[in-house]
Homo-oligomer: A and B are copies of this chain.
Amino acid sequence: MPKHAQLEYRPMHLAETRKIILWSLAWTFLAVTMAVCGAGPASPGPQADLVAPGIWRFHFGDPEPFTPTHFRSAALDSAGLEKMPASPVLPVDPAKITFYVSGRGCSVQLPMESDESIYGLGLSTKLFDLTESENGRTGRRVFLKPTDSPENDLGESHAPVPFYVSSKGYGVFVDTARFVSFYMGNVAPVQAPAETGGGGVQTSIAELYRARTQRVKTMLVDVPAAKGLDVYVFAGPAMLDAVERYNLFSGGGTLPPLWGLGIHYRGYARYGADESLALAARIRAEHVPCDVWGVEPGWQSKTYSCSFTWNTNQFPDPDGFLRQMRAMGYRMNFWEHAFTHPSSPIYEELKPWSGNYRVWDGLVPDFATPQGREIFLKQNRVALFNRQVEGVKLDECDDQPDSAMPWSFPPASAFPSGLDGEQMHSLFGLLYQQTMLTPYREQGLRTWGLVRNSHALAASLPYVVYSDSYDPKCYVRGVVNEGFSGLLWTPEVRDAGSVEDLYRRLETVMFSADAVINAWFIQNPPWDQVNREKNNHGELMPERAAVTEAVRKLLQLRMSFIPYLYTAFNEYHATGKPPIRALVLDWPEDPKVRKLDDQFMFGDSVLVAPMFAGEDRRTVYLPAGDWYDFWTHAKISGGNSLEVTNGVSQIPLFVKGGTLLPLAEPVEFIKPDTCFEITVNRVGGQPAEFTLYEDDGLTMAYSRSEQNQILLHTDGGQPSVRRSGNYHGPDRFKIAGWKTF
């Protein structure tokens, strides 16, 4: 481990007050002297240790033992980091960083420039540039608390990640499991020069309390309870570089199994085996693409809290049920949460390895202990993993930090590992994911699942974050934000306000990390009936055949993008580049994308601009360069905004000129030996190379280099395909043809 930084501060006790005052005066005197004299070397500030190329660590005080780096999901990817350009210069001036510790916790102040924008801090679905408020560039406080209600303007989310990235081309990760607050330039340290405010008498409350813009901006990070902190700084030079470094520091991005990129349908929660099989068969009969079948709570004898034993009234023969579903080609995903019901066979054994408060009468397993993990897994193996289920959905692992009637465990909880309830709430989703990933890793298999809470250094985890909230614009903003924080997000589709709403929602989810249709509270697929009550009364829409046909096409569109998306994920794994990301990461110099929170890049060359029900047009901004409309192939010059009026099921998509876009013949579902028939589209002149990544699509063999790279390129109009690598299984991709857009 690198040495500690030179400046170490201690907790302040009453007796030390006078000493601290003297110190403050001394520091002030020093600072004033230096400022007045304008000579001599500046205070060097705390020392930073180089952790990896372009990553520095500041070590302040006495950090807590239980932080995200203590519970790493994967080792830092040093090979990947070595490939990044080293940045010799620390991108933040250490002389402007200060640390303070008190009995309450500790805080760090970092410098900010007045025109600096900040992004990230997890999966907010409401905020984007965190220095913006309704009053302009006033800055704001962002609260990093895990919540089940992400549509808030406090920055609380399903995945509150203490990592942010700056428009100035650097990132900062605060290694803590505390509910941190970040003040984005809206605090006024006494040392900073005074503003020139304090004007006339106001007679309006709104005017009195209006947020004001600071001339000199400071980032304040407020960490409760901790007496010390490691703060990591990630160099650019561009924002995307900083994000990539953070993701490689996290172990690199996750690589889904190929089938994980297909369509994911979750059945009605009250359905037993027979009804599930019948619906699954109908979906096959109607040729609606579907790879993953999700079984909601009904499979368990007790839920809220969970028994992790099968409800044999509903599912009298679990093995038979699974066999029949698999015979139809479905991969199986099972819902659960961690709270363990008294009737579960592991209850008594788990009790000493649980928190000291129950949730819905269930134990809260301490996943920070090997015993807690193993006892919990034991019953999950019996029920699920020994049956080779391909994935799980990990529900209810978030919190309601600001609720008068919270359902989860109190932050004051104690766990045998030594974690308290606040730390556990921050880490609960991470630790739960790690636990449930174990059986797959033991078998060298990949999985793809869902989780309702995540946190820092999560890039390597094969779980996609989802929510109960359902605002379509917020859902899109989640997609736009996910790439800043090493996270994946699905704007899942449930019921809909109208057929148009169904199409628009489906369009967006097709361009997300997990194409989930979550019909947990409707008996029939939403394309049979969008209205929840009617759906559950069996009143299907008269136009359901036409809707099914349109939906089928939309789902097929997703299926055709799978090879392309698989490349984006392989690069996420190898280089840390997020497969889905905000435009500001690709065009950091373009001021027009700084606030663009309703468009995103899907891979390197496709720009997605979702539309919303009730809006027959939208403005799309295309950055500089040539672009091609995906549907019409019309060429559009970038650097401008345009208005689009795409009809339903034709989501506005724009392909970057000078690229190769491989699109596959859609399949209904992906078998172990599925070989995608690919047409390579030449988009614009002089297209750059494109690499497809080929492997078994199922196991971890790719991590042992059992992988091929299929290099597509054109040389003076002449297409060529070069396959190389160590994967020797059946071909997954066949280049069936080339086309010009």
List chain A positions with a Cβ less than 8 A from chain B.
Answer: 12-14, 16-17, 20-21, 24-25, 64-65, 100, 102-105, 107, 133, 135, 138-143, 153-155, 181, 183, 186-191, 194-195, 197-198, 201-205, 208-209, 211-212, 220, 222, 224-225, 268-270, 296-298, 302-305, 307, 341-343, 351-352, 354-363, 402-407, 410-412, 414, 416-418, 420-423, 468, 520-521
Contacts and interface: CB of A to CB of B under 8 A. Distances in A.
A143 B357 CA distance: 19
A604 B416 CA distance: 54
A360 B197 CA distance: 8
Nearest to A101: B414
Contact of A225 (B105, B181, B303, B520): B105
B468 A141 contact: no
Given A141-B403, A188-B361, A360-B198, A270 B412 contact: no
Contacts of A189: 356-358
Nearest to A135: B405
Nearest to A198: B302
A68 B304 CA distance: 41
A203 B13 CA distance: 53
A363 B190 contact: yes
Given A103-B64, A224-B224, A404-B133, A360 B212 contact: yes
Contacts of A143: 402, 404
A345 to B, nearest CB: 15
Q: Is the interface of A mostly helix, strand, loop or mixed?
A: loop
- Most-contacted residue by chain B among A14, A133, A225, A412 (CB, 10 A): A412
Contact of A201 (B12, B269, B341, B420): B269
Contacts of A181: 410, 412
A102 B413 CA distance: 10
A402 B404 contact: no
Nearest to A356: B190
Contacts of A421: 104
Nearest to A222: B412
Contacts of A351: 190
Contacts of A468: 205
A139 B14 CA distance: 37
Given A102-B414, A298-B201, A416-B21, A142 B194 contact: no
Contacts of A142: 404
A-B pairs, top 7 by smallest CB distance, nearest first, are A222-B412, A188-B358, A203-B521, A107-B412, A211-B405, A17-B418, A198-B302
9 contacts: A17-B417, A24-B416, A140-B405, A181-B410, A198-B307, A198-B341, A198-B343, A201-B303, A222-B412
A119 to B, nearest CB: 16
A352 B354 CA distance: 48
A410 B305 contact: no
A420 B103 contact: yes
Given A133-B405, A357-B188, A304 B422 contact: no
Nearest to A342: B194
Nearest to A355: B190
Given A201-B297, A402-B402, 10 more contacts: A12-B418, A17-B417, A100-B412, A100-B414, A104-B224, A105-B225, A186-B405, A188-B358, A198-B303, A201-B270
Contacts of A195: 361
B190 A358 contact: yes
Contacts of A405: 133, 135, 138-141, 186, 211
Given A140-B404, A141-B403, A187-B357, A412 B154 contact: no
Contacts of A194: 342, 358, 361
A402 B12 contact: no
A139 B403 CA distance: 12
A220 B412 CA distance: 9
Nearest to A298: B201
A122 to B, nearest CB: 15
Nearest to A423: B104
A202 B468 CA distance: 14
A187 B410 contact: yes
A346 to B, nearest CB: 15
Contacts of A298: 201
Contact of A14 (B303, B359, B418, B521): B418
Contact of A25 (B138, B186, B352): B352
A341 B195 CA distance: 10
Contact of A304 (B17, B191, B208, B414): B208
Contacts of A361: 188, 194-195, 197-198
A19 B102 CA distance: 28
Nearest to A65: B14
Nearest to A270: B201
Nearest to A12: B418
Contacts of A354: 190
Contacts of A352: 21, 24-25
B103 A410 contact: no
A204 B103 contact: no
Contacts of A20: 414, 416, 418
Contacts of A305: 198
A538 to B, nearest CB: 15
Contacts of A268: 203
A225 B404 contact: no
Contacts of A297: 201-202
Nearest to A395: B208
Nearest to A194: B342
A204 B356 contact: no
Nearest to A138: B405
Contacts of A363: 190
A194 B359 CA distance: 11
A276 to B, nearest CB: 13
Contacts of A403: 141
A69 to B, nearest CB: 15
